[in-house]
Amino acid sequence: MDTTAFWELIDKTREATGGDPQKQSDLLIDELALLSQNDILMFHNICNDVMDKAYIADLWDAAYVIGCGCSDDGFMSFREWLIGRGKETYDKALADPESLVDVVEVGEANVFPTLLGVSFNAYERATGQEMPPTPRELPELQGEHREEHEMLAHFPKLTAKYWNWWLEKFGVDQS
């Protein structure tokens, strides 16, 4: 398992499940369980590396605008979702978070249930044992968060499509 194989597996399972994150998660477990223990561990490590690379304040701010708020756990789920969308979407979003305006449907739940957990489940299914711990240091957030009004100004397309939709949905006066 290398980075190329990781992304190929993500793309294969996304396409096979029509992009449904829960079905993709289940299929990833099935596919990973067919691989060697080492490949499952490598998938897990690559997934963590890709998650860490996306630990960017600018991306978090974009997730905040898209979701009308984004907690620590919410940003973890958002990054899992982003990875599940595939390498092309992931790379574009890291380079320009506002590119997500063409990816996320208004009101879509942009979370991926347990992408980080698929390797644990696959390892246990393949070996009958729990996956060994893989200790790692927590990444430092790249960049600094903006104040809410700065986020909205920095991401005009995201604000127009998502933030304003949320305000309207919840009946918040925008004047």
CA 90 to chain centre: 8
pTM value? 0.90
With 0-12 CB in 10 A as exposed, 13-18 as middle and 19+ as buried, what is 166? middle
Burial 114-142 (b: 16+ CB within 10 A, else e): bbbebbbbbbeebeeeebeeeeeeeeeee
130 touches 123 (CB < 8 A): yes
For 9-62, how does the pLDDT look when each residue is reduced to its tens digit (9 = 90+)? 999 999 999 988 889 999 999 999 999 999 999 999 999 999 999 999 999 999
